[in-house]
Structure 1
């Protein structure tokens, strides 16, 4: 759930000046966005913040952010970006983790993506309390955390490997599995960004010059991206939910007339039907026989349907004979 969003504009004049990164104050760095979002989230949620777990990718593996989360007792899971020095031994975190005894295994399915084939993988699970040392270029205190790791069997370069840091107490395999399960859901954020920023509404390709216009377009398309994502996962839903969850009665009836060329039924068809027909309207041929349409063709179908809907509304508003 999006509870806070920050618009960040990089200063083009500082592009490529990484040499100044170490001397730049933490609050002026782009990475401060994680703490800033947590501060705003805490202010908005009040006591309910205790029920929230922030699940972050490797970009959030920042000493100051982890320290802030610990001091404010906000719950979090962060995927480790680097093998940090720890107090539990002479070696760094990842080497220490490789020596831990397996606490069990987990089976997960990795879907096909691009040139990567779908596969089922077996992961070894390890966990342990760890204390991260203060980085040499920082001032502060050591960070007592819990480490959860899951590593795919085999030595392939593409082997799945997650190093997770959390302040959730981990003393059993079930608790470790729960942390991994939380992190598994984080990929939905990536799917949303794909539907919003690139393959879907593709706001990254917009060439608007006004900041105000860009912000309005971004906001409108953010809601459309949610609808596209709902359609993308409609195929996996076990129920026959109505397509009116994402389409208005007028929209699905026009889609029916366009695709089926018959009088629409009295009751709305399923969400899965809308998924298939919108994808076909967008040019989907299912040439790979996966039964899954890409975000791009769903968006193209959605856009065409909106054009049809706009044309219908315009025609119905005419009060003159052509």
Structure 2
């Protein structure tokens, strides 16, 4: 990275090393020397320590990987980071209830790049992917609470600023590779069901899989006059199923994890362009050609809220296998949600006690890069569980100490992640599944304590 001074570059590296070796710890606990703690606080306050510049080496590495042949998913999600304080913190905005004076923070919009492998057989589980890292991030401060006199135009302008997170990400990510052997696919939840966003993605030579939030009108592009011929939801529900499969659904707040038997159908259509799509003074654009992939569970007395996904994609989908792959790509989006969860619960981003928004953003930008380390390790344990332990991303000393502490041989990547989880309190029972974020972070912290003790003993 280039922060304008060699010493600042070195300081950034030392802070990142401290985060990697003492995951989830506050700045005072990252360093043994008080001078290093003070220097870290000073560094975070410098105008040069912007999130973009701090992540430049990491993002350059990700972009290089995205230029290789293959299909890459750009997983996007927005998440609120909240600090509840009695005093307002400079550089933070309101979160949650806009009228609450103590809930401050920002919305973090992340684009996480992963490499996609075409499924060889039908699957209901989220397929493992190769985590490349962070391609883009934006810290968004919400606007002040609306006043009683706010006009409709002012309200729309305020709401458009929040929805523009997706379109601004498209501008920063830029044009995809011209190579026909490389495909970038933006995978987003309902927040990205924005016509300007989809048009922008297509203009940049990228693909998209977006869960529909609006029951948009459809049109016949060959008709002489522009007429509505139906709507997204009704058209997809009327289509005959191409096939069915069983999908494993994650547990959510108030809902247990379960298996859902779903049917898959597809409709090819053109989305009706909104009057504003062409921009002021420009002719109205043509409709957006999409495939609507519906993944739906049949209603039953046993299920209160049957699953139904309406997925919009730029790809020409005709067969069940193609539609099934689109559904699996949408499932991969959960990984960026896990990334944000890891930042909060694992690295403790919301526990940071920094008195300025600039410091918080700088710290979290570096935490984000560190968070991809364990995220990649978790995915490797799913994608390549039987690969040698040396490819798990830990150093030779870390592997040696981990093996000695648990008194067991670590032969594979899965052995490593289970061992880290065991250090963090994961019981490794058959019913437990793989270790979660909290167990992995705690395990990594414990491992670093043992590694430091090992090094001291040798000296």
* Alignment TM-score, normalising by the size of structure 2: 0.59
Pair 1:59-2:191 in alignment: yes
What's 1:320 paired with? none
Give runs of aligned pairs for residues 261-280 of structure 1, distance below 5 A: 269-280=411-422
In 1, Cα distance between equivalents of 2:381 and 2:156 = 48
What's 2:307 paired with? 160
How many pairs align?
307
In 2, Cα distance between equivalents of 1:278 and 1:169 = 43
Q: Could you tell me whether the CA contact under 8 Å between 1:79 and 1:165 is conserved in 2?
A: yes
Which is further off, 287-296 or 52-61?
287-296
Secondary structure of the residue aligned to 2:306 is coil
Q: Could you tell me whether the CA contact under 8 Å between 1:208 and 1:214 is conserved in 2?
A: yes
Q: What's the offset of the Cα at 1:258?
A: 2.6
> RMSD over aligned Cα, in angstroms?
3.1
In 1, Cα distance between equivalents of 2:183 and 2:434 = 35
Indicate how the Cα distance of structure 1 residues 104 and 190 shifts in structure 2: closer, same or farther if over 3 A, else same: same
In 2, Cα distance between equivalents of 1:228 and 1:300 = 12
What's 1:207 paired with? 353
Q: What's the offset of the Cα at 1:304?
A: 2.0
What's 2:399 paired with? 252
Give runs of aligned pairs for residues 1-322 of structure 1, distance below 5 A: 1=113, 2=133, 4-11=135-142, 14-16=144-146, 20-24=154-158, 26=160, 29-43=161-175, 45-48=176-179, 51-87=183-219, 92-112=231-251, 116-135=255-274, 140-141=284-285, 142-155=287-300, 156-195=303-342, 197-233=343-379, 235-236=381-382, 237-260=384-407, 269-285=411-427, 289-313=431-455
In 2, Cα distance between equivalents of 1:115 and 1:273 = 33
1 or 2 for the larger relative contact order (CA 8 Å, sep ≥6)? Answer: 2
What are the Cα deviations for residues 89-134 of structure 1, in whole angstroms up to 9, with x where unaligned?
A: 5653212221122122233222455664443322111111222223
What are the Cα deviations for residues 31-63 of structure 1, in whole angstroms up to 9, with x where unaligned?
A: 2232222233234x5424862121211111112
In 1, Cα distance between equivalents of 2:144 and 2:179 = 39
> Which runs of 5 or more structure 2 residues have no equivalent in the other structure?
1-112, 114-132, 221-227, 279-283
More strand by share: 2
Secondary structure of the residue aligned to 1:253 is helix
Q: Could you tell me whether the CA contact under 8 Å between 2:377 and 2:392 is conserved in 1?
A: no
Indicate how the Cα distance of structure 1 residues 53 and 233 shifts in structure 2: closer, same or farther if over 3 A, else same: closer
Indicate how the Cα distance of structure 1 residues 303 and 116 shifts in structure 2: closer, same or farther if over 3 A, else same: same
What are the Cα deviations for residues 71-102 of structure 1, in whole angstroms up to 9, with x where unaligned?
A: 44532111111222223656532122211221
Q: What's the offset of the Cα at 1:204?
A: 2.7
Which is further off, 119-128 or 83-92?
83-92
Q: What's the offset of the Cα at 1:294?
A: 1.9
More helix by share: 1
Q: What's the offset of the Cα at 1:303?
A: 1.6
What are the Cα deviations for residues 191-225 of structure 1, in whole angstroms up to 9, with x where unaligned?
A: 22222x22322313322224453344323322332
Secondary structure of the residue aligned to 1:159 is coil
What are the Cα deviations for residues 230-269 of structure 1, in whole angstroms up to 9, with x where unaligned?
A: 4434553441431552211111222233332xxx87xx63
Indicate how the Cα distance of structure 1 residues 271 and 175 shifts in structure 2: closer, same or farther if over 3 A, else same: closer
In 2, Cα distance between equivalents of 1:63 and 1:120 = 33
In 2, Cα distance between equivalents of 1:244 and 1:176 = 34
* Alignment TM-score, normalising by the size of structure 1: 0.80
Secondary structure of the residue aligned to 1:183 is helix
Indicate how the Cα distance of structure 1 residues 213 and 122 shifts in structure 2: closer, same or farther if over 3 A, else same: same
Indicate how the Cα distance of structure 1 residues 302 and 109 shifts in structure 2: closer, same or farther if over 3 A, else same: same
In 2, Cα distance between equivalents of 1:203 and 1:48 = 39
